[in-house]
Amino acid sequence: MDDWVLTDADPVQVARERERARKLRQTAWWQRKVGKGLCAYCGVRFDPRVLTMDHVVPLARGGRSVKGNVLPSCKDCNNRKKLLTPAEQLLRARALVGPAGPGDASGNEDD
């Protein structure tokens, strides 16, 4: 994990939010959401049984198990995301491709 990602969440709170997530997973609201079978990140359709409840802001980063912070996610996206917050994912994605240059990088060379 990148060392600029701090995981300083209170373990007691993380445990409490995990328990909340477990209960949230049993609600009709979540069943309906995951029942669509759509991964919120890659948009690919899966068997609802393989989708996991992903915390947009991870519990380890102080995220909560509330409706506004959980999304259905496939295993791949969940693994890719790990402990990053949405803003950090964008920052990291940008760091990986380098700074955006002038114009586009698609090889379009017409002046």
Q: Which residues are near Zn ion by CB under 5 A?
A: 39, 41-42, 74, 77
C-alpha–C-alpha distance, residues 91 and 12, integer Å: 29
Render the burial of 87-111: b for 16+ CB within 10 Å, e for the rest. Answer: ebeeeeeeeeeeeeeeeeeeeeeee
Q: Which is nearer to Zn ion, 42 or 105 (CB)?
A: 42
Shortest Å distance, C-beta 21 to Zn ion: 18
Q: Which is nearer to Zn ion, 39 or 70 (CB)?
A: 39
For 83, other C-beta atoms within 10 Å of its C-beta total 18
CB 24 within 8 A of CB 65: yes
Q: Which is nearer to Zn ion, 41 or 88 (CB)?
A: 41
Shortest Å distance, C-beta 70 to Zn ion: 15
C-alpha–C-alpha distance, residues 16 and 90, integer Å: 28
Shortest Å distance, C-beta 107 to Zn ion: 28
Q: Which is nearer to Zn ion, 70 or 77 (CB)?
A: 77
Shortest Å distance, C-beta 39 to Zn ion: 3
